[in-house]
């Protein structure tokens, strides 16, 4: 892969500048890649119908070839191009949650290249709620395949700087519309089965989905997880070891910190609600207060920032597993899981 010069172009998130969008669209149409903002995280966009462009995504990210991509569209009208069959339940979900952080798994049409789906017979589709993303899809006149714009294995990027840190020299253009609103990725919901199955918890909660379509299942079994290949891999992991305080108790947190210090480790700590009494002065403390949505929004950015401090261990406060807390805990557990020998890769 030859080095390219990566330009970062600022763009108004509410009223995207036409010139920047036209330039980005022509890069996409030429089969190259552009990083762009969505409401969840930054995406690494390519023409979703061009196999050569799709191949570049895997190379640039260092992504395992068995991990399929999400196709991004600018209107539900574009769904029939990609989905061979759209169950009633999917129509209702589209009405309720698009544009927004919900990805639907549907049976694919022959227009969708195998490289977009990693050979599966289903395709992942979503309509993002970001004016820049929508303008780019419209100008490129094609669905955009876009994984999160991080190097495989690192936390997803929520700012243009994160994308630049990971992909500098590998892509020609990053559209910078500031930090993303949701901060973690879309919910991936398989609607090819009844009841639908949440393959990846994300920005739309299970409770919200169930309010629209009734009972949905969580992908608990290995067999189900296999249907969303990305969830098999270790993800979102900083280089430092992440220790997750599952019970979100101050005593547990303090014990984890003390243990790491006893072993001579350099320790950082990410707090949400806890206010532990005696934290040793030597440790780096970051706090994201507020609601669980605020924690979700700042999480990846905080992990990246802490990881920039050359720490050995980052002790992270957990949250209750309800609402958006399910997605937060999913990402934190994966960040905290030890690398497996043969699959240190991720989305
Ligand atoms: O919020 C998001 O979803 C972001 C933004 C850029 O839209 N994108 C994103 O893409 O997170 P990525 O590639 O990092 O994650 C896509 C996930 C993976 O877990 C992948 O395995 C799953 O979607 N997926 C894609 N196609 C699938 C399919 N046909 N069946 C099951 N899972 C699929
Ligand atoms: Mg990803």
Ligand nearest to the CA of 99: 1
Mutate to test the pocket of ligand 1, among 65, 113, 188 (most ligand atoms within 8 A of CB): 188
Query: 79-117: per-residue pLDDT in tens?
Result: 999 999 999 999 999 999 999 999 999 999 999 999 999
Q: 176 pLDDT exceeds 80?
A: yes
- The enclosing H or E element of 126 equals strand 122-126
For ligand 1, say whether the CB of 327 is within 6 Å of any of its atoms: no
Give the torsion sign (CA, 172, 119, 329, 266).
Answer: negative
Pocket of ligand 1, candidates 42, 103, 132, 327: which has the most ligand atoms within 8 Å of its Cβ, to mutate? 103
Q: Could you tell me the two tokens for 277? A: 């009494």
Centre of ligand 2 from the C-alpha of residue 346, in Å: 7
Strands 187-190 and 197-200, how do they pair?
Answer: antiparallel
List, in order, residues 6 or more apart from 321 with CB less than 8 Å away: 329
Task: Say what the pLDDT of residue 343 is.
Answer: 39
Ligand 1: centre distance to CA 269 (Å): 29
Report pLDDT digits (tens) over 199-226: 999 999 999 999 999 999 988 754 566 5
Pocket flag, ligand 1, residue 346 (CB < 6 Å): no
Nearest CA to ligand 1 atom 10: 147
Confidence of residue 230 (pLDDT cuts 50, 70, 90): low
How far is residue 141's CA from residue 70's CA, in Å, rounded to a whole number?
Answer: 17
**Ligand 1 atom nearest 203 alpha carbon:** 1
Would you say the CB of residue 69 lies under 6 angstroms from ligand 1?
yes
pLDDT in tens, 296-326: 999 999 999 999 999 999 999 999 999 999 9
Beta bridge pairs of residue 313: 241, 267
**Tokens linked to 347:** 């989305």
- Report the b/e string of 105-135 with b at 16+ CB within 10 A: bbbbeeebbebbbbebebbbbbbbbbbbbbb
pTM: 0.95
Q: Is the pLDDT of residue 47 over 80?
A: yes
């Amino acid at each position: 892969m030859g080095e390219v010069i990566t330009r970062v172009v600022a763009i108004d998130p509410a009223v995207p500048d036409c010139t920047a969008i036209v330039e980005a669209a022509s890069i996409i149409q030429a089969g190259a890649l552009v990083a762009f903002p969505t409401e969840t995280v930054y995406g690494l966009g390519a023409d979703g119908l061009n196999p050569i462009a799709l191949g570049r995504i895997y190379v640039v990210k260092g992504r395992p070839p068995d991990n399929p991509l999400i196709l991004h569209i600018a209107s539900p009208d574009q769904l029939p191009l990609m989905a061979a069959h759209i169950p009633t339940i999917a129509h209702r979900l589209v009405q309720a949650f698009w544009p927004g952080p919900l990805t639907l798994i549907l049976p694919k049409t022959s227009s969708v290249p195998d490289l977009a789906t990693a050979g599966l017979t289903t395709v992942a589709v979503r309509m993002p709620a970001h004016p820049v993303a929508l303008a780019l899809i419209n100008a490129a006149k094609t669905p955009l395949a876009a994984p999160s714009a991080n190097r495989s294995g690192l936390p997803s990027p929520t700012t243009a700087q994160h994308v630049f840190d990971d992909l500098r020299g590998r892509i020609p253009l990053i559209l910078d519309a500031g930090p993303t609103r949701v901060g973690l990725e879309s919910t991936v919901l398989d609607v090819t089965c009844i009841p639908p199955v949440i393959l990846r918890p994300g920005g739309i909660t299970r409770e919200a989905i169930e309010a629209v379509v009734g009972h949905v299942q969580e992908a608990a079994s290995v067999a189900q997880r296999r249907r969303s290949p990305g969830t098999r891999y270790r993800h979102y992991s900083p280089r430092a070891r992440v220790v997750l305080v599952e019970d979100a108790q101050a005593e547990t947190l303090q014990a984890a910190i003390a243990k790491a210090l006893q072993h001579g480790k350099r320790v950082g700590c990410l707090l949400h609600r806890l206010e532990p009494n005696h934290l040793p002065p030597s440790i780096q403390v970051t706090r994201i207060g507020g609601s669980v949505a605020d924690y979700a929004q700042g999480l990846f950015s905080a992990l990246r920032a802490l990881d920039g401090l050359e720490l050995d261990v980052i002790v992270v406060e957990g949250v209750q597993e309800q609402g958006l807390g399910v997605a937060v805990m999913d990402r934190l557990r994966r960040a905290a899981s030890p690398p497996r020998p043969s699959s240190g890769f991720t989305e």
